[in-house]
Structure 1
């Protein structure tokens, strides 16, 4: 049941982040109407409303994808390195087609390489932050549970 909550909250988080990003880009580009994604994406659909509906589905799918891949870290039989490699690979393989469908970059080798560098760069930043936070939590728990350090 806990995992169902993770998936549901992931879909809603994806919707929320997607909407906020689209609203931000619409405002910064001085669009006269809400642009749920790139102009090419919107042009492929019959109306702005249908484009918004399609984009919302993609945003929810992205949130669901990252919620699903986060379940990898519940596998206590795998090392953190193995969990991270699998999480990175599955996240990349799942997110890439969604980003292409969303029209975030054209489908050619140059853009795919640039996208890959950006994806891995952002992943490394988030991973580093998460590892530092986990290390701090472990240190705090050790300090609480083992207040007296044994020295010889």
Structure 2
């Protein structure tokens, strides 16, 4: 059982890291095109200014993107806690992802560390979280309805 748990965590970690890096790269590449940059820009100019080269900024960004993917991938294991209510799972998941993702977003230079930006970020984070959670609940509800329909059909 312990070995299976370790394998599960390792698999989720590898998935999260690769997904985080992939999504981070695609977003950075998209913004590089939007701003018509002649060079790949891994983050905001104030972030890149901390590094000796664009390559170093990209390397550090890759580590941050990996961390972000790891946070979301591992935190999803909370939803496997069958003995918890969906409300408790959601609140704990939100808290963990917010607390772990926020410092990574700040380090990535996505917004400065001050009250105004933190409040704005928190509102946006909450809106995105609620939107994704609502969509997930609707999908789950439709799956349950379909399963119930199939069960009724077999009776």
Into which bin does the TM-score normalised by the smaller protein fall? over 0.9
In structure 2, what is the Cα distance between the partners aligned to 1:7 and 1:130? 22
**Pair 1:20 & 2:26 matched:** yes
CA deviation vs aligned residue, 1:95-117 (integer Å, no higher than 9, x gap): 10000000000111000000000
1:4 and 2:10 matched: yes
Match 1:118 to one of 112, 120, 124: 124
How do residues 38-49 of structure 1 correspond to structure 2 at under 5 angstroms? 38-49=44-55
Q: Secondary structure at the match of 1:41?
A: helix
C-alpha displacement of 1:4:
2.3
Following TM superposition, by how much is the alpha carbon of 1:2 offset from its aligned partner in structure 2, in angstroms? 3.2
Q: Specify the alignment match of 2:61 in structure 1.
A: 55
* Structure 2 residue aligned with 1:128: 134
Q: Shift of the alpha carbon at 1:148? A: 6.5
The gaps in structure 2 that reach 5 residues or longer are 1-6
Q: C-alpha displacement at 1:48, in angstroms?
A: 0.5
Aligned length: 149
* Structure 1 counterpart of 2:88: 82
Structure 1 stretches of 4+ moved >4 Å: none
User: What residue number does 1:140 align with?
Assistant: 146
CA distance in 2, matches of 1:107, 1:37: 16
TM-score (norm 2): 0.93
Structure 1 gap segments, 5+ residues each: none
Separation (CA, whole Å) in 2 of partners of 1:74 and 1:4: 16
State the superposition RMSD in angstroms: 1.1
Compute the displacement of 1:3 (Å): 3.5
